[in-house]
Every structure is written in structure tokens, then in C-alpha cells.
Structure 1
Amino acid sequence: MEFQGETFAALYQRACERKGGEQALEAMLGKPKSADELRTVGDDRFLAEFSKKIFQSGFVWRVVEQKWPAFEECFFGFDIDKVLLMPDEMLERKAANPEIIRNFNKVKTIRDNALMIDAVRKQHGSFGNFVADWPGEDIIGLWEYLKKHGARLGGNTGPYALRFIGKDTFLLSQDVESYLRAHKLIDGGLTSKRNLAIIQNYFNQLAKQSGRSLQELSRIIAFGVGDNNLIS
């Protein structure tokens, strides 16, 4: 696929100008976990992060953070084996607990996504191994896997959970989307198969030019345009 859009050098220069110089920009980029580090992340932590992002979707993130210790206690620290043993009746009781956010449809996703993680760990040893081995050149494929096999992990929910757990991924934040549309890299639906392929190709080309992670590239693009939303 032919390269389109600005070069990394142009993106980086503009982000530096907007963020007060190279040193200031670099301090804001962060680094994803390495593959070895991802392998050490417990299956329970993947389930916890998926669940947190599901509850934060369409809700005030700060409130979810405040209530999260109660979620951890209520769902046995998101231990996969214990969650899988929870019958529907127990899930209903948990969903009525005023210490957490009482949304039964979202509570049900905890067991559903535990089932996904359990299936993966039986094949790959752990969900961390599975995520660590997934190539960044096809990160949209991992997004699609979570959407297809998980519960409520489509849209930005799955990608945001991956970012917070440490997997290298770009994010289609408002700033990144604005950039892609302004430079006519995409049109129509943001997450159409055609547009996702174009976006993945653009990030892959930038990564080859720069040697940077997808996370860094995503933030560099965002910091060079728009309102600079916190998560990009």
C-alpha cells in the first residue's frame, strides 16, 4: 500500500513545537511493556482491565476508579477460575451490590470475558503470552479478536484496555481521528475494514521510518493537533 500522509519528521517537529520542545514531548510519550513484561501479567489483571474499561465506557472514569477496590473484592480479585464458577444467580446478587456500579449487563461480561481468557490460556499457556506474541503490525487484528470473542470489547474499549495493560497499540482518540480525516487518509466510518487497514498501514510506515512504538506515534500525532486529549 502506497505511503500517504506526513512523514514522522514532520509530525515530530510539530509536536515538539506545540509541547515546548523535544525534552518536554519525550517526557509525555511513555513506553509500552516489552513482550517479556507482558508475559508476566496475570490473567486476572487482563480480566480486571477489560472489566474496568467496560464499566468506564459511557460513564465517569473517576467514579469507576473510586469504586474499583470494591469490584476487586466482589469478584475475587478477578481470579479466572473463581469467576467461571459464578452462577447467574450470584452474578445477579453481585450486580445489586451498592458498593459497585449496579449494571447487570456489564457485570455479566466479567464471566463472559473470563471464558474468553480461559479458552486462550488453554492454548497459549496464558493470556499474557497470547497478547505478547501478537504482532504490532496487525494490532487491529487483536482488536478484532477481542471484539469477536469477548463481550463489549469492540469500539475503543478493547484498545484502551490493551494500552492500559501495557500492550503497544495506537488509539483512535478524537485527536488522532481528527488528524487522519484532516489529511484525507480516511473518510466514512472510522472503523470500517478499509479505514482500519489504511490506518494500520500508516502507523506501520511511521514505525519503519522512526523506530518508535505505536503508542509513541499515536501520542505524537495527537500532540501535534487538536485539543490533545489525555489518552491517545
Structure 2
Amino acid sequence: MKHAVITGGSRRLGLYLTEHFLNLGWFVTVLSREKSSSLAALACDQLTIIEVDYCDEENLTEATRALQDQTIDLLVHNASLFDKDVHHQADLMRFFDQLYQVHMRLPALLNELCFDALSRSNNANIVHMTDIYAQTPHPEFGLYSASKAGLESLMKSYAAKYAPNIRVNSIQPGPLKFLPNHSDEDKLAVLNNSLIPIEAGFSPVAQTIDFIIKNPFVTGASHTVDGGRSVKMNR
């Protein structure tokens, strides 16, 4: 049975990917800061949930020790923090540290800790979930954009470091699914800035990961999944 490890699997995209791979018959291990009720509802023999502190290296190393003796076929770095800089004027550098820890330090540490487990697979893949803002930073999300750019750079470094047996790619999503607090005006603004003006949901990302897994000649590549938003932003 194939084995996927997904960080940030308690909600939204991470939860969707967890259910996606469970439905494909994979064994899935989710690393999460806390288990959501939605994730708990997926409970089955194929699912293992590990609650960890993303910013505590000792806790993370100990929590993933069992993983290091297994075989991992897919590692998805999905855990993320997303907020505007202006919301953190009182603790801006603390917020920047948190972004670095979740978007860069955590993926780098897991890549290192899981290297042997990934090496046991005959088709091992690591996917870094970055953002279109890694290429075109948004001024209101400057620190977030910078940390995602760092995650993008880490992807290329690990692709070179782990080739040819472990392939490493990134996915740069744009807005995929609206939040409950998005107003109709917010939604319209997002849709008007996309070449394909629809709320796509999370399926396109799952389909892109499936493509990466099935294509043995793809590594060190960034895959943009944004309905053409990044193109329209640059026009």
C-alpha cells in the first residue's frame, strides 16, 4: 500500500488531499498542530494522525520517529500560515519567525528526517505547496510571500540534492476556494482577476499531484494552478 505524509491535514486543502489519497487506497499520515473534527471523522485503519508542534524540532523529531522506519511514497508540505502584515504590526518579527518556521524550517527538517523512508520507495515524491505570490509578491502579504519564495527555493535545492531517486516539485496555487467570511464583493474581485473566472475548489491541486506522481520525468519544477491569475496580474 502506498503511503502519503501530509502536513496541515486538518482543514481545507490538506483535509481534501487526505481524503483524496484515502479514497485511492493509500495509507495516509497527517501531521497537524491539532486534530479537527473533520479530520477525526475520516478515522479508519488507513489513517494515522500525529499532533505536533511545528516549531519544536525535538517534538517533531520524536513524533515522526516511527515514520523514519517506514516507507514513504509522497510527502506533501501543505502546512501554512496566511495573514496580512498589517495585522501584525505589534509583533511583526515574531510573525515573520512563525512564517519561516512553518513554511521553510518545517519542510527542510521533514525532508531530512524522512530521507531514508522516501529512499525505500520506488517512486518517491516530495511536493512543496508554495503560492503564486512566491513569484509575484503581494505588498499586503509581503512576509508571507517572502517565506513562500524561500519554500520555492528549497524545492529546487532538494530536487538537485535528492535526484534521481526522490523527485521534488512545487505547486503554486492561486485562490482555489473562498472562505466563509468572503463577501460577494471579495469573490467578484478574485474572479475578475482570473483568466478562468470560477471557484475551482481543491480538485485541481489533487490532479496536479497525481500528474507529478505518474510522470517519472518531472522534478525541480513549479506547477502553477491558478486559473491564469498570475498571467492577468502581470499584464
TM-score, normalised relative to structure 2: 0.28
Greater helix proportion? 1
Which structure is higher in RCO with an 8 Å CA cutoff and minimum separation 6? Answer: 1
Greater strand proportion? 2
**Bigger radius of gyration:** 1
